Chains A and B, each alone.
Chain A
Amino acid sequence: MVAEQPRWLEARGLTKTYGGVRALDNASLALRPGEIRGLVGANGAGKSTLVKVLTGLVVPDAGEVLVDGAPLHLGRAQKSLLAGIASVPQELTVASSMTVAENVMLGHEPRGRFGRLRGAELRRRARDVLDSLSLDVDVDDRVGTLRLIEQRLMMVARALSYDARLVIFDEPTATVAPVEVGLVLGTIEALRRRGVAVLYVSHRLDEIERICDSVTILRDGRVAAERERSPTHAELVKLLAPEHEALERGARRRPEIGSQTVLAVRGLSGERLRDVDLVAHAGEIVGLAGVAGSGARELVLTLVGAVPYEEGSVAIDGSRLAPGSPLRAVNAGMGFLPGDRALAVFANHSVRHNVSLSSLARYTFGPFVDVSDERALVRNLLERVHLRADQTAPISSFSGGNQQRAIVARWMASNARVLLLDDPTAGVDVATRPEIHRQILDLCAAGAAVVLVSTDVDELAELSDRCVVFDRGTVVAELAGTKLTPARLLAAMTRTAA
């Protein structure tokens, strides 16, 4: 039925380069009215760039978007909205102290003479939109009092109030409880009935299988495959992670994993975590896998003390750690290595100061820093991480990969027992990646336990000794040995728990 309708939106040959990296490479997309299109691909495959081009947030280097055959003025968010392209962002952007009606009609409130706000008309139009989505909320309620899922669906209503013909969803169910996923999918069905097209960006492949009419798969900015019918979950996994056993896990030399438990997490619960157990031994790399909002990254942030927990316990070498204090976590032997270097690097400081900051207590006399001791120790560590550099040079003059080396050295200096790595190779170029991987292995060899969060299944499968899969704040699977392959990881990560 859908297939007979003409294509009203066509994007052709979209190309966008960011500083040498092709985010989009000649990508094309065509949609029919009422079509629900799944958009899938690994992180960095170009999904969000494509979405940003369509919504007018990014001007492509090449290519065009046609709406009803007429070219769309690219790079103007207002033009995209007027052409009927609206999006529901991953992050909520609501004005929580305003009413539902005001939020739904935000930015195009009906006006009377002299700019007077027509309140009755505003409420009536908001109610119409909400009704058409079968959303049962009062237009006069303050948005802050609604449940999160209702706030999210209200964002759909806002998109629709612009007479949208295409609504783009970016990971709409990432942080939604299982029972509420049906509400989101029901809303999408309601859009289809109204003849509105949907572009559904998600890592949850089973949802794609359930609701999408067709699927576009992006890889390295290119359209790698397009399916007119929605493929099954298993087919999607195969398309996304072609089975390559050539990673040669056995080829790398790993010392025996010690039997000594370094990190013990028991029954940890908090705002985004439910009853998590995790153990890591000396010399072991434990991978944490999961899509955005699954709890993998949240666990690491909780362990480092950036986020407090409510129940359960965390212990390093048998001694318990109080929640919510990075200071105590670091003193107990925790080290945090984020891929987002803005969370680790002191840009105005020298390499030496960056390396020594977490271990200053080791070289002092009285309240003073013993600079000669400090210099010697930092020299030693920089050699160990293979960073040949003047210690006094500002760290901002180094490449991202070398900055990361300095941060590795910081935790070597503090003799960290547990290293928490949060996407350590995010934004690092291909050549530096293996180097950082080797440093992670070196840290293990020194007897530390490593907990690795990554959005990259290849990286997880390659480095981890064991991989724990998270969904909605809790552990849903554990893979190790020959079962630990990128494809199996992806399959486990992307299946919505019943």
Chain B
Amino acid sequence: MSDDLEQRLPRAFHRDALPPAPASLIDALERVPDAPVRARRRADRRSFLGFVAAAALVATVGALAISGGSPRPGPVTPTLVPSPSSDTMRLRLEYQVLPSGAAIPTESDRAAVISVLEARLASTGVVDATVTADGTDRIVVELPGVADAEPIRRLIGQVGAVEFVPLGSSELTVGQRIGPGRFAALFTGDQIASASAAADQDGRPAIEFTLKPEGTRMFAEYTSQNVGSYFAITIDDVVITAPIIQNGIADGEVQITGGGAGGFDATEAAAIVAILDSGPLPFPIREMASQPADASPSAP
């Protein structure tokens, strides 16, 4: 019997061809060496997708709760940007605006990208950053010297497409990426009227947002009819929260908190708020080589 299995298994494994590495992975490999060294604080909690594919806002796993209303929010200062440090230089980040599917970005599309980036930077408290068009398809972001520009980079590089996704009985992990076509979104981030960083009743960082009337109606209808089901909010197809619906949420006022030992920290809450508030980039961008702004230019 065992012998038989040992003969059959290789044949079964090699009967059909398996797919090759997708283009996105080949592309990601080439960018791996460009990614800065980072610490894996909890390697089991998140995906590196975020910075190799400039896609993920990854939060921690925890018992997450989604709730209507705004229970005693305390002010939380966005802390995405560390204080400028005297021994760091102004950082120059250069991006290429990429086509989206068959759509080629025009000059006004690039201007729209720039204004989203400006909004994101402003909402996270960066002082003295500039976002300018350069050449035919480039955008240059210059930042005051910061000890750690990585959070900013990630914030800038994300498309930031937000979706509200009913999951039914599928329990997803925060940080997990939802493949295309796996779940249909109920609505997208364009139904968010405003978002802000807050604190939950225990003082932990939370994110609050208000939905527009149409989003409010859809969310109320869905949540009231699907108590006990899972529901995810995703950014660029990565789950930022995937709680169980505990009650119908009628008023479009939503607070997301991370529970358990994890939860959002103030930094990630600020980044998520910036994305929710600024809306998505109309076209994806790719970071080109970056260097300190006052470094002498080197020959290509």
Answer whether A and B are interacting partners. Answer: no
